[in-house]
Amino acid sequence: MEDVTTNINHILRLNNPPKYSRRFLKWVISEELFDDIDGDLMELFHERATTANIWKAKSLYLQDVLLSTRNIYLRRKLKFYNPLVMYKNYLKIAFRNLLKYKGYSFINIFGLALGMASCLLILLFVNNEVSFDGFHEKKANIYRLDEVQTFGAVSAQKVALSMYPMGPNLLADYPEVVDFTRYWTMGRTLVEHENQQHYIGEIARVDTSFLEMFDFKLVRGNIDEAFQEMFDLVISESIAERLFGDEDPIGKLLKLPNDDVNLKVTAVMADVPDNSHLQFDALLSTKAWDSEQRQNGWGSNYLNTYLQLAPGVDIASLEAKFDDFLVKFMGEEALDYYELFLQPLSDVHLGSMDITHDYNNHKKFARSSVNIFVILAVFVLLIASINFMNLSTARAATRSREVGVRKSVGAFKGQITGQFVAESIVLTIIALLIAFGLCFVSINSLIQIIDRDLSMSLFFQPVNLLVVMAITVLIGLLSGIYPALVMSGFNPVMALKGSGTANSKSWFRNALVVFQYAIAIAIIIGTSVATRQLNYMQNLDLGFDKELTVVMNMYQETNDKYELLSSELKNQSNILDVTATSQRLGNNLHQTSMQYRADTALITGSSSFVQVDHNFFDFYKMEILEGRALSKEFAADERGRSFVVNETLARELGANGHDVVGMPFHFGGVDTLGQIVGIAKDFNYNKLNLKVEPLFMTSPTENYWSEVNVKIKAGNLQTAVQEIETVWTSLFPQRPFEYEFLDQHFSRLYQSEQQLTKVISILSGLAIIIASLGLFGLASFTVRQRLKEMGIRKVLGASVGQIVMILSKKFTLLVLIAFLIAAPVTYFLMSGWLDGYTYKISIGVIVFLVVGLGSWLIALLTVSVQSFRVAKSNPVDTLRIE
């Protein structure tokens, strides 16, 4: 008997069924049945192995396994298995765990919610940007006609301008063009209704096809009758309400006070939505301006032309024909100055950053900035998700006992994985709800910063809500799956003993921390470089004094009394000086052709120009390098025969060693040659990412200014503005007083950049906060795991400082690695960005050092809070845990 037993034991020890066959069986048979069937097969195998040849037993075993594939679909519900009770238990345990570790749960969920909220808000913004001009049904076939202008020394520039005759002639000459409309603004216009004067913000002159091409909906009247008569007017709903109240606006007459013309309201349109690049309050047809002179007005660019093309037209080949078009109407030399190109309607809002004289482009924005936002939002969400994952994995260690108990009671691996994944999904959904709350709280501040019309309601459209939910569940799934797999893989015996098995794969967590910190560091370095560049540009000496300057628009009747206005203003106690110009500084200046005589040859070129009052140079404290400024003393100056050029133009004129001062010179309208009297130091009249172009300044023959500039005393802005207003209204009672400060006008040039940096600053702040939250949570878990070790170290005589050091060392290393990854990448990217600016800062090492040290300190601080607590604790307490 003993012999048999040893024999069997011997067989059992040496001859097990083929490993791979058994593994195959496990794969084939459902989990619930495997134990039974495996046992049966094993029993048969051993029986055969004792009675027959071992090889035969093995082959029969294989046969059994293979035949068992017939049972692949056999399933068994576990007996006495009530899933509901189990789910209730899962839920209970999940919430108990949340409450037991309140701090970590808060960090975990709130960090994710922060990331989600910023992502949601950015998505709202991006959606708004992309939706610009999306409501026009024919948007795919509508193009804006733009020009590339190349005038002599002025570098080629894209302009959003075209000529009055272009539209109709393109329609007549090219079958590809189905329709056209021009868009020519009148600016703010004063109208009179029943002896009451009102401003209409923007009246646009358009062709009658305008309302058919673009979908600006009429609420009263119909499209066919809108522009029948010469002075038919379409007004917006809000204008109608302001002017006529509840009365029916159709057929009402509005008088233009200066022109003695009556406009008749024929239709009312819905207010133009904020996401349209064209913004206007009323429309007139171009008919009233359609003189023969205008119809042949080739060469003057002052309006926008939109073309509707036939579907499927090849844009490149149509653009290629435009050269012939220009030659046909303007002669060969037109090609020296002009080139036409088409800009798709969908590109106008986001793709016009390189286009100047772009006056009708509401809230124009850079597509690259939108992309930066999207990338940042994704990164912040990524950091938050990684946090979530890291913390859940770290927390796995504290729940190893639970897993051990579940496993020994009979939970399958799949059930435990499912439990933890589901838990993580539930947590992400809670985070999403908090994120929605955060969005509601913060959306108004965002709207103020970026000046956009955003609404949370977008998220509650079924499709969007579904997408948001799907992404949330996906985040929950992805960030839950790793910790779930780690936990379900615990060996129950080890797990029950409570020895942490989580340490083994901490390299993965460390890699994630490095990744997070690298992103956060990169974002912060990028932001600080961008902010510094922007500040640099705004505070750079422009070459003239733009402070304390009030600018006001001039009109026909105000120009008639310019001398009076000027002297009255100068009499006020808080006003230092008054000057006038033909264009506001801070815009791209208009260009014109010019002629000058060098030796005996008369040379034609072109340059930017601005007409200025004689005291302009004093007023703006501009430096005259050579010659003199314009002055009242010289009769020629008053007759527009004297010119002051800037350095850039002077370089061009004096290229062959000619004396620039005294050089015969004239431009455009004046036919006798005048003279250059002075050279002014270059000043920046435009955005600083554009270089200074050649420029000359002269006085006009009569007062026709487009604006007057007033320099006021420092300290009493309010009183000074009131003084101006008093003078203005006493002279022009019918013109409401409106003004702007020049420095505000300049800072508006950088509005898009400012919005960008503000939002990015917030995002980068969030990134580092979320990353630190994660590190904080992670550190506390690491510290907890090493409690005993630290206790022993203390007993052996380690000081508090040494213990803090030991615990912080690892995180210092992680941040260092993150920094080494992030720094070169950021340097490369930011240098590329700065290359777009003429006046730029050098990146320098300091930013890197400060951000690197800063993030290290933040990391150190977060970790130290934890490690210090351990280091201070009494080793008796930490060692006693058993």
Partner 1 sequence: MKGIHLGEFEELVLLAVASLDENAYAVSIQSELLERVGRKSNISAVHTALYRMEDKGLVESSRGGAEAKRGGKNKRLFKVTNFGINMLKESKEKRESFWKTLPQISTTS
Q: Which residues bind partner 1 (CB under 8 A)?
A: 8-9, 12, 33, 35-44, 46-47, 63-64, 67-68, 70-71, 74, 76
CB of 412 to partner 1, least distance (A): 16
Rounded CA separation 188/143 (Å):
26
CB of 11 to partner 1, least distance (A): 9
Identity of the amino acid at 207: D
Specify whether the CB–CB gap between 41 and 17 falls below 8 A. Answer: yes
Specify whether the CB–CB gap between 607 and 154 falls below 8 A. Answer: yes
**Residue 42 or residue 673: which is nearer to partner 1 going by CB?**
42
Do β-strands 674-680 and 740-741 pair in parallel, antiparallel, or remain unpaired?
A: unpaired
CB of 461 to partner 1, least distance (A): 47
Any alpha helices (H) in 147-298, and if so which ranges?
A: 166-173, 210-213, 223-226, 237-244, 292-295
CB of 460 to partner 1, least distance (A): 47
Identity of the amino acid at 248: D
Q: What is the DSSP letter of 459?
A: G
Query: What are residue 354's phi and psi, to 5 degrees?
Result: -95, 10
**Residue 37 or residue 645: which is nearer to partner 1 going by CB?**
37
**Residue 68 or residue 488: which is nearer to partner 1 going by CB?**
68
CB of 418 to partner 1, least distance (A): 24
Closest alpha carbon to 235 in 218, 222, 223: 218
CB of 33 to partner 1, least distance (A): 7
Closest alpha carbon to 186 in 452, 551, 556, 579: 556
**Residue 412 or residue 555: which is nearer to partner 1 going by CB?**
412
Angle among Cα 594, 598, 599 to the nearest 5 degrees reads 155
CB of 20 to partner 1, least distance (A): 16
Closest alpha carbon to 431 in 118, 204, 775: 118
**Residue 48 or residue 810: which is nearer to partner 1 going by CB?**
48
Rounded CA separation 742/738 (Å):
13
**Residue 65 or residue 397: which is nearer to partner 1 going by CB?**
65
CB of 783 to partner 1, least distance (A): 41
User: What secondary structure does DSSP assign to 471-484, as a single string?
Assistant: HHHHHHHHHHHHHH
**Residue 12 or residue 320: which is nearer to partner 1 going by CB?**
12
**Residue 37 or residue 537: which is nearer to partner 1 going by CB?**
37
Specify whether the CB–CB gap between 70 and 76 falls below 8 A. Answer: no
- Residue partners of 567: CB distance under 8 A and separation at least 6: none
CB of 77 to partner 1, least distance (A): 10
Residue 585 bridge partners (DSSP): 587
CB of 65 to partner 1, least distance (A): 9
For residues 181-213, one letter each, b for 16 or more C-beta atoms within 10 angstroms of the residue's C-beta and e for the rest, the string is: bbbbbeeebbbeeeeeeeebebbbbbbbbbbeb
CB of 43 to partner 1, least distance (A): 5
**Residue 46 or residue 735: which is nearer to partner 1 going by CB?**
46
Residue 879: CA atoms inside 13 Å, Cβ hemisphere, count? 12
User: What secondary structure does DSSP assign to 383-417, as a single string?
Assistant: HHHHHHHHHHHHHHGGGHHHHHHHHHHT--HHHHH
Do β-strands 549-553 and 740-741 pair in parallel, antiparallel, or remain unpaired?
A: antiparallel
CB of 417 to partner 1, least distance (A): 24
Closest alpha carbon to 180 in 206, 148, 215, 149: 206
**Residue 32 or residue 626: which is nearer to partner 1 going by CB?**
32
Q: What is the DSSP letter of 702?
A: S
CB of 34 to partner 1, least distance (A): 9
CB of 379 to partner 1, least distance (A): 52
**Residue 42 or residue 86: which is nearer to partner 1 going by CB?**
42
**Residue 5 or residue 573: which is nearer to partner 1 going by CB?**
5
**Residue 24 or residue 732: which is nearer to partner 1 going by CB?**
24
Rounded CA separation 358/354 (Å):
10
For residues 554-584, one letter each, b for 16 or more C-beta atoms within 10 angstroms of the residue's C-beta and e for the rest, the string is: bbeebbeebeebbebbeebebbbbbbbbbbb
**Residue 37 or residue 318: which is nearer to partner 1 going by CB?**
37
CB of 490 to partner 1, least distance (A): 21
Rounded CA separation 826/833 (Å):
10
**Residue 42 or residue 769: which is nearer to partner 1 going by CB?**
42
Helices 506-539 & 800-834 angle (0-180, nearest 10): 50
Closest alpha carbon to 455 in 133, 216, 127: 127
**Residue 25 or residue 644: which is nearer to partner 1 going by CB?**
25
CB of 59 to partner 1, least distance (A): 14
Closest alpha carbon to 811 in 837, 775, 835: 775
**Residue 71 or residue 491: which is nearer to partner 1 going by CB?**
71
CB of 463 to partner 1, least distance (A): 43
Any alpha helices (H) in 489-505, and if so which ranges?
A: 492-497
Any alpha helices (H) in 498-608, and if so which ranges?
A: 506-539, 556-560, 562-570
- Strand segments (E) across 786-881: none
- Residue partners of 80: CB distance under 8 A and separation at least 6: none
CB of 406 to partner 1, least distance (A): 20
**Residue 29 or residue 468: which is nearer to partner 1 going by CB?**
29
Q: How many helices (DSSP H) and strands (DSSP E) are in the chain? A: 32, 26
